[in-house]
Homo-oligomer: A and B are copies of this chain.
Amino acid sequence: MNGSKCRVCKKPAIIDLPRHNANFCGEHLLQLCRRQVEKAISDHDMLSKDDKILVAVSGGKDSLAVWDILVELGYKADGLYVGLGIGEYSDVSHDFTKEFAEARRLHLRTIDLRSEYGYDVPTAAKVTSRVPCSACGLSKRHLFDAAALAGGYDVVVTGHNLDDEAAVLFGNALRWDVEYLARQYPVLPARDGFPKKVKPLVRLTEREMAAWCIVRGIDYQVEECPMALGNKHLAYKEALNAIERESPGSKSAFYLNFVEKMSPILAGLNEAATGGLNNCSVCGAPTTAETCAFCRLQERVSGHDPVPVELVLSKKGRKAYLAARG
């Protein structure tokens, strides 16, 4: 940081944040992160101190940081880790998550897809011939929802940050997928048998969350998921980063202005689409079909021998995966 000083205390800075046009020391970076989380929680009525909270943790910086911040701010939050069976990537992610929880004596629950449901993400991708992110997202959503309801949790917290949400928004805006745009909001209220879901990190970037973890001494999985390498989401992030480099603050304006100005216009467009849900005949989860999408996936893909990660990577993903392994 070449001798630059913290905007707040004038001590040596450890990070520059161009969108705030300022530098920060470790202590005041943490303060900034805490305040942005508090603002997100209060702006969108996300959480109360009495809530029983379930944090969806992956072992990456964002989910460990949001769990850390919430506990530090005095919220009661347990963690849930889903073992996706993505080779060494999943093993290492699980280790970081366990270490974090044990060091802080936090309650962590683990669900393992392979041992409890008979499949893993690479195998599901291979058997269904679809991108791995599809089976992965479906499985995680279902298991977090079900665990929250079964465990009597008031709300599920996920670690989606500003970069994640801006990239998803960019993808939806590129296609003007009105239904998805109408649904993209930092809070989803509980309804129809689904738990309330909130994203307290929507005002903070990937880089800020990495800095949070470094300053707080949290070890996390730094690798991108090998399944995601080469996917469009990463290309959208890169396009937004190029704009952000030219005009610092563009990315947060893009996401936060959407939530403020556009969401109210789109609200209500999806209302006609809800209703008509019944309970899955297998697991009881809300669904529009006889059996829910998770149970249909499980029936189709469980019992197959595990497929190695390398076999289900995209061409681009494989190149990046092999390059990362030297």
Contacts and interface: CB of A to CB of B under 8 A. Distances in A.
Interface of A: 173-176, 178, 232, 235-236, 238-240, 242-243, 246-247, 250, 253-254, 257-258, 260-262, 265-266, 269
A247 B232 contact: yes
Contacts of A254: 173-176
A174 B243 contact: yes
12 contacts: A174-B254, A176-B254, A176-B257, A232-B247, A235-B242, A235-B243, A236-B243, A238-B242, A239-B239, A239-B240, A239-B243, A265-B266
A302 B232 CA distance: 51
A175 B257 contact: yes
A236 B250 CA distance: 12
Contacts of A253: 174-175
Given A174-B253, A257-B176, A246 B232 contact: yes
Smallest CB-CB A-B distances: 3 pairs: A176-B257, A239-B239, A176-B261
Given A174-B250, A174-B253, A178-B265, 5 more contacts: A173-B254, A176-B261, A235-B243, A239-B239, A265-B265
